[in-house]
């Protein structure tokens, strides 16, 4: 049995408190009056001479994302029109500034939820494929998936609570003036959004609940009935998961930019999810092994996890590039704006994450010997996690805060808050059952696994 060390518990609580302070600070400083926003804009224009030119390019790039802005994208001639234009520009910027703490909170909440959901999918794959190497890691995976239910509920709650701060289609005023969104209102509807979200969360949590139950029951069982049940529900869950994950990606992430769509988006998000999930399994397994709780986990298990990290990094890059290159190549205006805003306003994070998520782990984890060295895996793992946070950041932020983004106190506060919560829940869950699933028929093979 694992006992949650006091140090780690204090650490996670400190993270949550610091994070909550940061989030609170973010919300307190994001309410700006129109005059304040105008002062900020005037200051920015005078600070760097070319500032105003940047403002105009930014506006032409983002104006079709927000329907309320669409009426004044053209250049104005008379002074009254100019004044009106400045006013609506200031209003637009005011909204972006107000959206920032919501988006920061949402990105971090989604990121940690996504990790545990990725682990749940990976766990189901291990069960359904009857993998012989991984049963010694099942309890670690089960511990991480404890976060699925609270994490997903938090994401859903933030989505509803933030409403139009995140999803402009939740704003009735925007909906009334936007024909494109009206045509999508059969799907993009707050009630349906909630019903779907609850079905997704219920399905994932039910699988998690029963799979864990059978897994624990198998420990002292005299036959393998529970193991077989787990095999069956895992196969069923994988079918359910791949449908709901796809729809979840449209609802929770893609609808932040409701004028844009992409067919491989669900897969792309899945790749992010599974690679971060496997990375966290590896990091927690390394931590617990170093503390002496997982002496049955050997270097070959780490080697296998690192291989999965390596492989899914490449899979993520393949999907990232496929989505980008198809849209870049065809350059159809209605879909290319998605990447235009990202390349113009998020150039460094947009391309930087490809280095973190692909180039660095690719070179580090290619060597078979390095995949057995814990600190190499930790090094690659940190790059992957940072990279995938930025990945989610670049999915959400351009649609909500536009060029008003910065990784400052609200963003870091949100990360700390959810990191603390994640550590607290996951490590509490790990104390609840023995760390070796001893009734599993593959456990002997897994303990002796070597590559």
Partner 1 sequence: METSKVIHAIYNDDDVLMAAVKKVKAERYHIEEIYTPFHIHGLDKAMGLAPTRIAIVSFMFGCVGLIVAVVMMNYMMISDWPQDIGGKPSFSYIENMPAFVPIMFELTVFFAAHLMVITFYLRSRMWPFKKAENPDPRTTDDHFLMEIAVHGNQSELESLLKETGAVEINIVDKEAH
- How large is the angle between the packed helices 79-128 and 225-248, nearest 10 degrees? 160
202 binds partner 1 (CB under 8 A): no
> Between 15 and 327, whose beta carbon lies closer to partner 1?
327
What are the counts of helices (DSSP H) followed by strands (DSSP E) for the chain?
18, 0
Q: What is the nearest approach in angstroms of partner 1 to the Cβ of residue 325?
A: 4
What is the C-alpha separation between 314 and 274, in angstroms, rounded?
12
* Cα angle, residue 423 at apex, residues 112 and 145 outer, rounded to 5°: 60
| 89-97, 103-111, 324-332, 425-433 -> range binding partner 1 (CB under 8 A) | 324-332
In Å, how far are 168, 171, 330, 333, 381 from 61, measured between CA atoms? 17, 21, 18, 11, 35
- Token code pair at residue 45: 């224009």
- Binding to partner 1 (CB under 8 A) within 229-258 occurs at none
Across 40-195, the runs of DSSP E, i.e. the strands, are none
What is the C-alpha separation between 212 and 120, in angstroms, rounded?
11
| 53-61, 257-265, 322-330, 370-378 -> range binding partner 1 (CB under 8 A) | 322-330
Query: Residue 379's closest CA among 286, 315, 269, 296?
Result: 286
Of 71, 331, 347, 431, the one binding partner 1 (CB under 8 A) is 331
342 DSSP assignment = H
> Between 110 and 338, whose beta carbon lies closer to partner 1?
338
In Å, how far are 33, 277, 288, 291 from 447, measured between CA atoms? 63, 22, 16, 18
| 123-131, 288-296, 320-328, 439-447 -> range binding partner 1 (CB under 8 A) | 320-328
Q: What is the nearest approach in angstroms of partner 1 to the Cβ of residue 396?
A: 24
> Between 243 and 328, whose beta carbon lies closer to partner 1?
328
Q: What is the nearest approach in angstroms of partner 1 to the Cβ of residue 336?
A: 12
Of 53, 157, 198, 366, the one binding partner 1 (CB under 8 A) is 366
- Token code pair at residue 220: 């002292």
| 8-16, 43-51, 303-311, 327-335 -> range binding partner 1 (CB under 8 A) | 327-335
371 DSSP assignment = G
Q: What is the nearest approach in angstroms of partner 1 to the Cβ of residue 321?
A: 7
Residues in the interface with partner 1 (CB under 8 A) total 8
What is the C-alpha separation between 81 and 87, in angstroms, rounded?
10
Of 161, 192, 243, 321, the one binding partner 1 (CB under 8 A) is 321
- Binding to partner 1 (CB under 8 A) within 151-170 occurs at none
Q: What is the nearest approach in angstroms of partner 1 to the Cβ of residue 309?
A: 18
Q: Which residues have CB under 8 Å from 404's CB, separation 6+?
A: 93, 96, 97, 100
What is the C-alpha separation between 138 and 17, in angstroms, rounded?
31
> Between 133 and 324, whose beta carbon lies closer to partner 1?
324
> Using an 8 Å Cβ cutoff, are 218 and 226 in contact?
yes
Of 316, 324, 389, 405, the one binding partner 1 (CB under 8 A) is 324
| 145-153, 318-326, 385-393, 441-449 -> range binding partner 1 (CB under 8 A) | 318-326
| 106-114, 283-291, 328-336, 421-429 -> range binding partner 1 (CB under 8 A) | 328-336
328 binds partner 1 (CB under 8 A): yes
What is the C-alpha separation between 202 and 149, in angstroms, rounded?
8
325 binds partner 1 (CB under 8 A): yes
> Between 252 and 324, whose beta carbon lies closer to partner 1?
324
Tell me, residue by residue from 283 to 302, as one string, x for binding to partner 1 by CB under 8 A and - for no binding.
--------------------
348 binds partner 1 (CB under 8 A): no
* Cα angle, residue 175 at apex, residues 173 and 179 outer, rounded to 5°: 130
Query: At which residue do the structure tokens 């198809």 appear?
Result: 326
Sign (positive or negative) of CA dihedral 28, 31, 35, 39:
positive
Q: What is the nearest approach in angstroms of partner 1 to the Cβ of residue 193?
A: 34
* Cα angle, residue 339 at apex, residues 337 and 343 outer, rounded to 5°: 120
Tell me, residue by residue from 367 to 386, as one string, x for binding to partner 1 by CB under 8 A and - for no binding.
-x------------------
351 binds partner 1 (CB under 8 A): no
Which residues lie near partner 1 (CB under 8 A)?
A: 321, 324-325, 328-329, 331, 366, 368
């Amino acid at each position: 049995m694992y006992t949650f060390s006091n140090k780690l518990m204090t650490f996670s609580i400190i993270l949550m408190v610091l994070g909550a302070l940061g989030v609170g600070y973010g919300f307190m400083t994001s309410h700006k009056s129109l005059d304040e926003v105008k002062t900020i804009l005037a200051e920015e224009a005078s600070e760097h001479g070319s500032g105003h030119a940047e403002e105009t390019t930014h506006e032409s790039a983002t104006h079709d994302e927000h329907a309320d802005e669409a009426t004044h994208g053209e250049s104005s001639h008379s002074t009254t029109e100019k004044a009106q234009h400045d006013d609506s520009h200031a209003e637009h910027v005011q909204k972006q500034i107000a959206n920032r703490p919501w988006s920061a909170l949402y990105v971090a909440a989604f990121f940690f939820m996504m990790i545990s959901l990725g682990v749940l999918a990976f766990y189901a794959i291990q069960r359904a494929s009857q993998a012989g190497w991984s049963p010694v890691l099942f309890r670690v995976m089960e511990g991480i998936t404890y976060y699925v239910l609270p994490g997903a509920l938090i994401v859903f709650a933030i989505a509803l609570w933030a409403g139009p701060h995140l999803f402009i289609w939740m704003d009735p005023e925007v909906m009334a003036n936007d024909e494109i969104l009206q045509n999508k209102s059969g799907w993009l509807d707050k009630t349906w959004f909630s019903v779907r979200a609850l079905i997704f969360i219920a399905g994932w949590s039910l699988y998690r609940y029963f799979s864990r139950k059978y897994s624990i029951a198998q420990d002292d069982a005299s036959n393998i009935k529970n193991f077989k049940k787990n095999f069956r529900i895992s196969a069923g869950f994988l079918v359910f998961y791949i449908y709901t994950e796809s729809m979840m990606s449209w609802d929770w992430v893609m609808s932040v930019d409701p004028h844009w769509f992409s067919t491989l988006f669900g897969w792309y998000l899945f790749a992010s999810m599974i690679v971060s999930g496997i990375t966290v399994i590896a990091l927690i397994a390394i931590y617990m092994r170093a503390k002496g709780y997982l002496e049955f986990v050997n270097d070959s298990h780490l080697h296998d996890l690192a291989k999965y990290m390596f492989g899914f990094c490449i899979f993520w890059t393949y999907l990232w590039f496929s989505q980008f290159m198809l849209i870049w190549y065809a350059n159809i205006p209605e879909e290319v704006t998605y990447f235009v805003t990202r390349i113009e306003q998020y150039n460094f994070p947009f391309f930087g994450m490809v280095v973190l998520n692909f180039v660095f782990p690719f070179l580090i984890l290619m060597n078979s010997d390095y995949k057995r060295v814990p600190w190499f895996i930790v090094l690659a793992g940190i790059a992957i996690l940072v990279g995938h946070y930025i990945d989610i950041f670049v999915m959400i932020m351009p649609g909500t805060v536009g060029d008003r983004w910065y990784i400052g106190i609200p963003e870091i506060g949100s990360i700390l808050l959810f990191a603390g919560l994640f550590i607290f829940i996951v490590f509490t869950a790990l104390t609840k059952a023995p760390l070796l699933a001893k009734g599993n028929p593959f456990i002997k093979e897994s303990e002796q696994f070597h590559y």
